[in-house]
Structure 1
Amino acid sequence: MEKNTFATSAYIATSPESAFEYLCSLKNLDDWTLFSRMQEQVDEDTWLGTASGYHKNLYYHVKKLENPLFYGIEWHCGFEYQKYFQVYPVLLFPPDYIEPGTDEEGVYFHWLSFVDPKRQTQMIMQGIHTVHTSECRSLKGILERQTGRTTAAKGRYFIDTDTIYIDAPIEIGVEYLSDLRNLDEWAHLVRPSGEITRQSGEFRDEYDQKVNISVKLHGLSKYYLLEEEYFYPDYEYYQRSVALLIPTSYAFGDPDASGLILHRITFWKADAPLGHGKLQIEDFGAESMNIKRMLEAKAGNLQSFDKGMSYVPKTPELVATH
């Protein structure tokens, strides 16, 4: 997994609209975060406030994501006004996006965090999983309490993720992954079995079962979202996942950072055995390694793959050690 990227998710028993409205107000950070306290409003979408991971204040900025599929925002943070080095995309998946036709209500909250290696401290790196996981629980409790609940609700699904750094231009990644005709090169659990176009085609899985696969590419802020859908017509079984392709320079607020972050978001039924499609997060992770190898080779970069799954700045001596 990419060590500079962190993801936190939860099912929340509230409407997507209510969750979106609450998250768009930076002042609400006072209620559910460990110590992000808004002290001075700078403009309509920006506040100056305290922070859990620093002994200095941060500027907080919120941006709404224009997206017809589901609600989303980004939080941006930095020590100077309009100079933000941290970006936190938040996506709010309605249940019927995950399982079309479901009668489940609520929303699936997914919070993605990037920590620039050049600005990392030991405390930030050691504490971010603990703090963000607990804050996510706090957010869930507040939003569910507002609906009258007195205990935590459990969703039918849970979210798991796989993230990898790819040292290749994002244009190459977008073109390659959005063309389903390339799937046979990097996906080892399926093989073509019929006509394959850029966006859809018929395949056979590892059990020789028919599966129709499709992909759709969407613009999202400064990056891209790729939907991948598996449908087994003989079993009426449907599995959807999405991938974010984010320029590394945007993720870490560093114009010198090359390549892209591939963040794959997957949905799994809780307490239900799986019989078709991908059965474990490692199936996605193995594919991501193949994608990294293929794309870096296409970019003429044959050294980055040996360095592992994580982004490392070109000038490692600048990485903070304390």
Structure 2
Amino acid sequence: MNTNVYIHIPTTTIFRIVAAVVALIFVFLMRDIIMLLLFAIVIAAAVDPFATKMENKGIPRIVGLLVVYLLFFLGVTSFFWVLVPPLAIELTDFTANFPVYANGLVEVLSRYGITPDNPAFSTLPNYIDKLTENLTQLVPTITGVFTDVVGRGFQIITVFLASFYLALQRDGEEKFLRMLSPETEDPYIVDLWKRAQKKIGQWLQGQVVLAVLIGVATYVGLTVIGVKYALILSIIAGMLEIVPIVGPIATAIIAMVVAFFQAPAKSVLVGLFFLILQQLEGNILVPLIFRKVLGLHPVIVIFALLIGLRLGGVGGMLLAVPMAAVLTELFGDFSSGKIKV
């Protein structure tokens, strides 16, 4: 006996599936433009609170925005003007002296029985030569990065202009999201954005303050100890603060290795310095700076940065944490039953 089984798929379901596939294809094809748009929204969300505070004090919103953007560009310009020349000098000096440091490492390994007869030792010269070659190319690479930034000037200008116009109106990002979202979902989309924006803003402000403090403290501490390349190491320390747990540990290891090449005793002092610095950071700075921050779990931040780097390079990393904040709120709404599929 033959029985026919009919599966009925509603037209609306088919339409939704097709629409989802088309949307994914569209996002993939327009991913570069969408990334620029996301940058503009994030920047607008970051400057909006400052412009609103100035507006509440009687300063026209457009004037407040111009002041914020002007201070930002002056800060970036001053950073490159003051730090890039000595940074390039330190990098060049480190590259020139690296073979000396490498030979010192070979001598230390020999003391512990790792000699040319040891298999581990035989591969070391190849690694040293390769690393020396990479370091030699480092300064031109940095110059290439600056050239690439200048080459992308049109995109950068577009992002800042778009963010300026979004922030020009009070709650401009919300109005823009309302325009893009279905009318029935407006209240939820706006509520989701407000919660994510608060989390993004607090996290970003806290990270900037913490990075500056740790960077300055690292520079002062290493300079007092007498470690060369303190400027490079302090910039690395500030930048790696964005990576929870792993970043500070990596900074300490790098600094100790550099100090060891100069004088083994200095590496011990550097280790003690970073141990004290991490205690101050964990018990005083972080609670003080992030006391009002709802926060993102460190593991979420680490994985978000890795995924962002894999999908979009440096630009993806910069957008990773804001996107993680939105997704965290979204998943929280799913788990609480606030929204249903």
Q: TM-score over 0.5 for the alignment?
A: no
Q: TM-score w.r.t. structure 1 length?
A: 0.25
Query: Max radius of gyration: which structure?
Result: 2
Q: TM-score w.r.t. structure 2 length?
A: 0.24
More helix by share: 2
Q: Which has the higher contact order (CA 8 A, sep 6+)?
A: 1
More strand by share: 1
